Amino acid sequence: MAAPTAALPIRRNTVLLAATMAVNSAVLQLVAAVASLTFVLVTGFESLLGLGPAIFLTASAVTAVPAGRSMDRFGRIPVIAAGFALGAVGCWLTALGTWADSALAVIAGFALIGSSAGISLLVRTAAGDMYPPSRRARGIAYVLIGAVFGAILGPAVFSPIFAGQDELTANVLTIPWLAAGVISLVAMGIALSVRPD
């Protein structure tokens, strides 16, 4: 009887981690859709169109290794939750940058969002820890299915915000970035529900 009882927290945590990936993926859909546009509208430099995503991806790559080491020291869930908190702050900083036309705020926001993305990818390690070696790949796959739902969820959440906009300005992007920050906090809340770490 011990095996079914032990399986319940694993199933519950798998669902929670998949939901975390889904919610986070919605934020990443916004980043993919409007990061370049945000950067150009705030800075005015069309020739630097790819710099926004480059900042995001560089921060993601640089953060992954120290985040992994921190997980070994502090546990998976505290680091994942802190990553989503960073993402929320990054989104709100980007929103401030679009509202105030501050390139510095947008760049800092992109860096924090990128760091959050690098940490969120490590959700897979939390999933892998729960499963025995023979089922580890399957457990990780279950969690990653959440990202697919998030890819569908993202446009459904953000499309209405852009509906009816004849001309996109930096100020129009303030509300989506604010909403993305709130969504990041939802991901953090779901991650904190995973027990035990």
The answer to which of 45-49, 51-55, 140-144 has the lowest mean pLDDT is 45-49
Q: Distance between CA atoms of 31 and 183, rounded to whole angstroms?
A: 13
How does residue 85 score in pLDDT terms, banded at 50, 70 and 90?
very high
Whether residue 28 contacts residue 114, with contact meaning beta carbons closer than 8 Å, is answered with: no
Q: Name the residue with tokens 């900042």.
A: 55
Q: Distance between CA atoms of 131 and 7, rounded to whole angstroms?
A: 10
111 residue type, one letter: A
pLDDT for 102-123, tens place per residue?
999 999 999 999 999 999 989 9
Alpha helix segments (H runs only) across 121-162: 123-130, 136-162
Which of the pair, 39 or 154, is modelled with greater confidence? 39
Per-residue pLDDT for 4 more than 60? no
Percentage of the chain surpassing pLDDT 70? 91
In this predicted structure, what is the pLDDT of residue 2? Answer: 42
Q: Please list, in sequence order, all residues whose beta carbon lies within 8 angstroms of the beta carbon of residue 193, skipping any fewer than 6 positions away.
A: 16
In this predicted structure, what is the pLDDT of residue 1? Answer: 39
In this predicted structure, what is the pLDDT of residue 164? Answer: 66
Q: Please list, in sequence order, all residues whose beta carbon lies within 8 angstroms of the beta carbon of residue 159, skipping any fewer than 6 positions away.
A: none
Which of the pair, 138 or 1, is modelled with greater confidence? 138
Q: Distance between CA atoms of 56 and 50, rounded to whole angstroms?
A: 10
Q: Distance between CA atoms of 35 and 107, rounded to whole angstroms?
A: 10
In this predicted structure, what is the pLDDT of residue 163? Answer: 67
Say how many C-beta atoms besides its own lie within 10 A of residue 96's C-beta: 17
In this predicted structure, what is the pLDDT of residue 84? Answer: 96
Q: Name the residue with tokens 């004849």.
A: 166
